[in-house]
Amino acid sequence: MIELLFYMSVGFMGYAAVQSVSMLILNNQRLRQFALFALTCTAIGYQYVTLKYMQTNDVSAMVELLRLQTSWAIVATALMLWNINLHTSPPRPYAVLAVFSVISIGMLLLNHQLPFGIRFSAIDDVRHFTVVGEQFSILNGQPSLWRLLLLTNSLFITAWGLSNCWRVRHQRPAALLPTVIGIFILYLITSYVGHGVDQGELDFIYVAGFAIIPVLLLFSVSLMVKAKKTSQQLSSKSEALEKEKIRRQNQQVRAYQLAQVVYQSPAPLILMDTEGQVLSTNTACKDFWGMSLEHMELNLLDVLRPIYPEQELSVKRIQQAGRLPLSTVANAQLPQQLSANLTANGWLNFELYCSRDIEGSVDLLVAQCTDQTESYFSQKAYEYLAQGVSSQQEQSFFDGMALNLAKLFNAKYAIIGLLQANNQAIQTLSLMVNGHKADNIVYPLDGSPCQQALEQNQVCCYPSDIQRQFPDDQMLQDMAIEGYIGAALVNAKQQPIGIINVFDTKPFSQSHKLNHIMHIFAARAAAEVQRNQAEQKLLAVAYEDYLTRLPNRAQTHEYLSQQLLDPMIADGYLLMMDIDHFKTINDQLGHDVGDDVLRHAADKLREQISDAVFISRQGGDEFIFIAQEQTIAAAELAKQVLSIVRQPFQLGSHMIDLAGSVGIVSLSKELTALDVIRRAEMALYQAKHAGRGCYSYYQQALEQQTNHKNTIRQALKQAIANNQLSLVYQPQIGSDDRLYGAEALVRWHDDELGFVSPAEFIPIAEESGLIHQLGDWVIQKSLSDLIIWQQLGMRVGHLSINVSPWQFALSGFADRLIELVQVKGLQAKHICIELTESSLLTDLKETIAKLNKLRAYGFRVALDDFGTGYSSLAYLRDLPIDILKIDKAFIDELEQYQSSPLTESMIAIGQHMSLDVVAEGVESANQVEKLKALGCDVYQGYYFSKPLTEQQFRVWLSHHNQQQEGIDSRPT
């Protein structure tokens, strides 16, 4: 009932306002009409706010409504003063009105600034009461001293109105005075009632607004009377009013259309009050969030402030920015009540701006939501890929990629793995769990989503419920996996080589863009895997022996250099093992069999020797072992190596039985890697000289021997270049005492070294490669001396020249020798080439071809030191030779024993093959007699002559020829 009265009073006031407006248009007294209209509107506002104030229970809202009610009352008081002045025309009306207006404005400002307005200094509680069965609420608190100013205004208006009405009582109709007096009496009564309500003395409603109704009715009737006078004027303006009506209707239609555009906009929009409380949302927003936010009593600014603390979100901040875009945020960062229907790994952003009313004041805040999942994923994907490119190390690259992938998809697990050789499992390269690196695992493929990704060779996305789809994958069950996105890593031939995927315990969003991003990551990871594999292959080429797959010389040098920097170096040592007589295997069985032997030896060494020992192939048939005494003693390791090498094994149709020699050297920080290798070679060389099949430690004496060899090598090089060598010649005598021939023997006397034996410098020449220069010098010098002898008419028979195996092995040796003899104008029949068995048996087919060419040209060929090498009767039968020379060691047996079966056999072989047999090292008549008895017809040794210089040989030859001529001249 009370509420109805309020609304009826508002209605009456509204009617009066409309009448005032119509009269304002048609009447000449527009100022009075406007003043009355303003007072009426103010009364409407006061009455409406009063009702709302008494119906509200929220203290904050009541305070604001009370403040607004007071403001309306202040304004209404000022307007009442204006109306009194207009109707009574007092002296100096504008001065009074101006002063009163200033006071009223001050009161309005004070009412706005004080926390509870000017009527209360503090609020205690809310007082509830019932009037005519209706419930109302009034604030109860401590009265403010400023309330007195409000009461003073009311008393002043009352006094001012009564005094001015009394002053003009004779100038106005008699009926007007009682009406005015009644108005002020009502005003006093309603003011007292309002004061009593505020003081808590009355549990009643505010009735001040009802006091103006009689006045409004009176003026309404007056206006109706005057309306007849202005009917014609109203008629003339009716058409204009109709047009205005149409215009307003059109505006309403456009406003409705604009509202529909906002409501149906594809962009999710949230309308908020200036405090951030959600008021309304459009259809797109409801679809975006999956709920109606306006029904949640949600304050969006309160939600966003903790997420964006640096923005200091407020109306002022948003108003200053105009449009305030906020950075992208993960769905998971929003409160659960808001993100319940969003995808867990999605991303969105907000943009805030203000909406202004017709007066330009901010009345609404607008938030526009945008799903940024795809664009955010794309941006971050390229950023993370760019970061991965800068990674220098393989493991850091894959760890970084897995970590970034987990961040990008907001996933708990991320895996990058390679397909194992059996294609049954994935060996992870990197496993990330909750943003941290975990130990790598082997992940079985059977029945897993990874198997599907590999088989389909594309991105596989199972956004949710994956356990039901793959019930046989136990890992999914154990890890409570809900969503999965994975892609195969493929090589250039589009063959799967690995997998990249993310798992999570919550569902994923499904998007073609996200699948594309996963594909990009897969392609980058696959490229890195292939790059690493190619790099490993290059490293294998650089650091791995292609034949045995052991570390090669380069890696050995690098590893040894690192070991020499180790503080525990004093405990370390190096072994160098060489397979004895491995060259024979290559020569007799072929290099392919030799390679298989090396592979087999390497495999056995790798299998049976501890992993703590570094094993490598130095080259050829040499192997390196690096270890420490605390791991295994050097002697023990050497014995183990020799034992492993001695183990016979079957290789195809061949039974291989090997032996080896080992050199041992201790590591020292004063040595370089090359120094250690060199010392190991010296120790190995010593072991071979000790009889092979054993091991030898490096000793300082070996260093001295090596230095001595180096000295000889350097001096020999200079001697050859400076023609400081010489030749001596030892005659070969037949059984008839005639000169059979002579052998050229090289000699060297150095100014510093003195006489150097051929037995010492020739092996060094062979090792260092100087043997070719030395051999060329011997041939040139021998042929030059032969030319001189022939020019002197001296008959030498033939001149034997020793040829090194290395020199004879040269492909063009025979052709060059023939060309040299031709150039010097010599006959090849006067020249004999002496070769050892090792020279002839290296490549039998090529050897036979060379010998046939030389013999065809006229050269004679002698097999030197027969019986000391690896003589084979089958080879001897096939070799095109002319002379067989028996080594001195067998001739010495004739001096010591009555018989020498080996010597007898060798002479018999030569005779059987129609070869001349020359006995070397004959030093006694007894040996000569026994050799003659055995059928040996040619002798060479100190018994006949020592090796002679060229001049000595000429003298000897002249003397021998004279003796021979004397014998020949004797009568038979």
Question: Residue 775: what pLDDT?
Answer: 92
Q: Among candidates 89, 42, 69, 5, which has minimal Cα distance to 216?
A: 42
Please state, in angstroms and rounded to a whole number, the distance separating the CA atoms of residues 77 and 83: 10
Whole-angstrom Cα distance, residue 136 to residue 815? 135
- Residue 123: the pLDDT is 87
- Residue 182 CB contacts under 8 Å (≥ 6 apart), including other chains: 214
Would strands 442-444 and 860-866 be described as parallel, antiparallel, or unpaired? unpaired
Please state, in angstroms and rounded to a whole number, the distance separating the CA atoms of residues 884 and 860: 11
The C-alpha torsion from 745 through 750 and 751 to 752, rounded to 10°, is -150
**Which residues of the chain, if any, have pLDDT below 50?**
221-223, 225-227, 389-392
Q: What is the pTM of this model?
A: 0.43
Instruction: Give the integer Cα–Cα distance in Å for 418 and 425.
Output: 9
Which pLDDT value is given to residue 756?
Answer: 92
Distance CA(496)–CA(457), nearest Å, equals: 7
Compute the C-alpha angle 805/810/813, nearest 5°: 95
**Other CB atoms closer than 10 Å to residue 173's CB: what's the count?**
7
Query: Cα separation of 133 and 534, whole Å?
Result: 93
Alpha helices (H) along 647-721? 673-689, 700-721
Q: What whole-number distance in Å separates Cα of residue 240 and Cα of residue 229?
A: 20
Residue 951's Cβ-count burial label (10 Å; 0-12, 13-18, 19+) is exposed
Do residues 62 and 137 lie in contact, with contact meaning Cβ atoms separated by under 8 Å?
yes
The confidence score (pLDDT) of residue 215 equals: 61
Q: How far apart are CA 867 and CA 941, in angstroms?
A: 18
Terminal alpha carbon distance of the chain: 184
pLDDT for the residue 602: 94
How much is the pLDDT for 231? 61
Task: Report whether 724 contacts 748 (CB < 8 A).
Answer: yes
pLDDT of residue 950: 92
Could you give the 3-state DSSP secondary structure of residue 833? strand
Would you say 351 and 368 are in contact if contact means Cβ atoms under 8 Å apart? yes
Q: Which helix (H) or strand (E) holds 884?
A: strand 883-886
- Token pair for 79: 């307007």
Helix/strand/coil (H/E/C) assignment for every residue in 564-594: CCCHHHHHEEEEEEEECCHHHHHHHHCHHHH
Decide if 377 contacts 513 (C-beta within 8 A).
Answer: yes
d(CA 386, CA 366): 37
* Cβ atoms of 205 and 197 closer than 8 Å: yes
